[in-house]
Structure 1
Amino acid sequence: MTTATIPSICVEPAFLDEVERALEPNESLASFVETAVRREIQQRQARAGLLQRGLAATRHHSAAAGIPAEKVIARLEAKLAAARQRK
């Protein structure tokens, strides 16, 4: 298997110092960057999956027969009226 290189980036010296201070013992800057990139990819994939599942659920629920809003509001108003009468 051949390997590829992630492009280098220019950062401010203060930020590079911050990154280097955050390195674990025996951790290289390259391994830190690779780990960070892999985690970001995993997060983006998870977010994309969540979005797809949410959209699919929305399509499913909007296609299903639900209770009309007017009926729900009428039931809530009836419950409120009953609660007021009990007081």
Structure 2
Amino acid sequence: MQIDYVSQARYSQIMKAATIPPIRIESAFRQEIEQALGDGETMASLVESAVRTEVSRRRDQTEFVRRGLASIARSEAEGDWIPAETVLAKLEAKVAAARKRQGGLSK
């Protein structure tokens, strides 16, 4: 069918657009990878999945840091931040109070 051919051609063009470079690994590690493969899973699908997961994790981490830095900048600009020393002192006071309630248990 003509539609099937067109769909397959588009899919093939997308899939052939780029490849992940091959890497050299020790044969023992390759055997470990092969033993870890699930039913019907290929080495290529595992590598693709791992790379996608790592790229996503790095993207999320970058966004997390960006938002954190933006929050710091906003807090400093608006003057509504609390110095770390103040926060730590309050936490230490809470820990000391909790220890006192529990009969003075040591650190």
TM-score by length of 2: 0.60
* 1:17 maps to 2:31: yes
Q: Which residue of 1 aligns with 2:59?
A: 45
Q: Which residue of 2 aligns with 1:57?
A: 71
Deviating above 6 A after TM superposition, structure 1's stretches of 4 or more consecutive aligned residues are: none
Aligned Cα RMSD in Å? 2.0
SS at match of 1:11: coil
One-letter code aligned to 1:26: G
Query: Which one of the candidate residues 19, 42, 59 is aligned to 1:5?
Result: 19
- Structure 1: 5+ residue runs without aligned partners? 77-87
Q: Which residue of 2 aligns with 1:85?
A: none
- Structure 2: 5+ residue runs without aligned partners? 1-12, 91-107
The structure showing larger relative contact order (alpha-carbon pairs under 8 Å, at least 6 residues apart) is 1
Q: How many residues align?
A: 71
Q: Percent sequence identity over matched residues? A: 38
One-letter code aligned to 1:32: L
TM-score by length of 1: 0.73
